Amino acid sequence: MNQSYCSSCGNKIIPNAKFCPNCGEKIESAVVDTKKKKEATGVKKKATSGSNSYIILSFSFIFALLVIYLVLDSNEKTFQQKAGPAQGTTQQQEQLTQMMESILKIKSELEADPTNYSLLVQMANANFDIGRYREAISYYKKATFVNSSEPSVLIDLGVAYFNLNKPDSALIYMNHALKIDPNNPQGLYNTGIVHFNQGDSLKAIAQWERLVETNSNSPQAEAAKKFIEKLKSELTKS
C-alpha cells in the first residue's frame, strides 16, 4: 500500500487523517501517494513546526540538562500534549482534527465580524497552539489594533516572535506589556528569559529579581529564584 504525503509540505499522513498534522491542510486536497510524490515538483521541504506552546530554552553551559519552560498566559498546554507528533496515535490525530476544525470555525466567524477582539485572540491562540507562529502573530497584531491595553496578549505576541528567533521583536511587545502592568509576573519572567538567551545575564537577573520582589509567591518567582542563584554562582566563578 502506498504511503500518503501532504502535497503542501511533504509530511507523511496518518491513514484516514482529515488534516495534515504538520501544516493543517485538508487531506482531501492535499495528499499525494508515493508514486505521485516522486513525480511531483516543487514540494516544499518539511518545516520544523513549533514543538509546543512554551518557549523551551536550554541553559547550555550553566544549566546543562536543565530545560525551562516559558509559560504563556493563554497557551498552557504543549502542542505535543494536545496533538502529538506527526506519526501519533489515533487519539492524537483526533485532537489535532478538532483543533483544525476549531480554527476553521473561528475563521468563519471572523469573516462575519473581522474586528471582534475575542475571536481574534482565540484565532491567534489556536494557531500558536499548533506551531503556526506567523499566523498567530498576524492575529495577535489585529487584536492589538482593536485593544492594545491587554498585557497577556502582548506577552503572547512577544513569545510568538521569540519562537521565530526574533528576540528583539519579542522584547518590544513584552516591554510594552510591562509599561501597562509593570509588575506582571509573566512579563517579568519572560523578558528575563529573552535577555538571558541574548547573552545578557545581568539584565535577566534584574528582571527576575524584580519578579521575586513584586510577586514572591508566584510560580514564576519560584523558578526565577533558582535561576538567579545559579547565574550569580556562575558569574562569581568567572
Gap between the Cα atoms of 189 and 222, Å rounded:
10
pLDDT in tens, 7-53: 666 566 666 666 665 556 655 543 333 333 333 333 333 333 333 33
pLDDT in tens, 135-160: 999 999 999 999 999 999 999 999 99
Residue 16: its pLDDT value, please?
62
Closest C-alpha among 43, 55, 1 to residue 191: 55
Residue 32: its pLDDT value, please?
36
Q: How many CA atoms lie within 13 A of 225 on its CB side?
A: 11
Closest C-alpha among 156, 193, 159, 155 to residue 175: 155
234/65: higher pLDDT:
234
User: Cell triple for residue 127?
Assistant: 494557531
Gap between the Cα atoms of 111 and 52, Å rounded:
28
Confidence of residue 208 (pLDDT cuts 50, 70, 90): very high
pLDDT in tens, 81-122: 433 444 456 777 787 888 889 999 999 999 999 999 999 999
Gap between the Cα atoms of 44 and 49, Å rounded:
14
Domains, in order of start, for the chain: 73-237 (1.25.40.10)
Give the burial class of 67: count Cβ atoms within 10 A of its Cβ; 0-12 exposed, 13-18 middle, 19 or more buried: exposed
Residue 99: its pLDDT value, please?
86
Closest C-alpha among 134, 155, 156, 121 to residue 50: 134
Estimate to the nearest angstrom the gap between the alpha carbon of 209 and the chain centroid: 25
The answer to whether residue 168 scores a pLDDT higher than 90 is yes
Residue 125: its pLDDT value, please?
93
